[in-house]
Amino acid sequence: MNTVISSAASGITVTFYSLAINRKKFEVDLLCHSIIAGMVSITAAADNVELWASAVIGFVAACIYLATKELLIRYEIDDPLDITQKHGICGLWSLLATGIFDKDKGFLRTGLGSFLVI
């Protein structure tokens, strides 16, 4: 369930972004890539986060995906399949999200940063 919620939140976020920026043009490729980014971002924490946290993780994954996509375009770094954004950067976010949102040892639950550092 967490994987579905995270990927849906990521897809919805990018859909609203795409419609807000392009007004009349909907970009399906952004939607597909952001769904994968949401799935990658929840992977490390999927077994031990609450449902609201998986939605937040998916939302942040969409923002990270869009920001890194623009960054690579700005610096003319060639990544035609968006692998760096989806699997690299969102994978790092997945590790950080585990330390933040974990139900038992996460930063929001305990207030301690030890699990986040690990």
pLDDT per residue over 71-84, tens digit each? 999 999 998 888 99
From the CB of residue 114, how many other CB atoms can be counted at a distance below 10 Å? Answer: 10
pTM, to two decimals: 0.94
Total domains in the fold of the chain? 1
Nearest by Cα to 10 from 60, 46, 84: 60
In this prediction, residues 78-93 reach a mean pLDDT of 93
Over 80: is that where the pLDDT of 58 sits? Answer: yes
* Lowest-confidence region among 4-18, 21-35, 38-52, 59-73: 21-35
Domain containing 21 equals 2-117
pLDDT per residue over 5-33, tens digit each? 999 999 999 999 988 887 778 889 999 99
How far apart are alpha carbons 85 and 104 in whole angstroms? 29
Over 80: is that where the pLDDT of 3 sits? Answer: yes
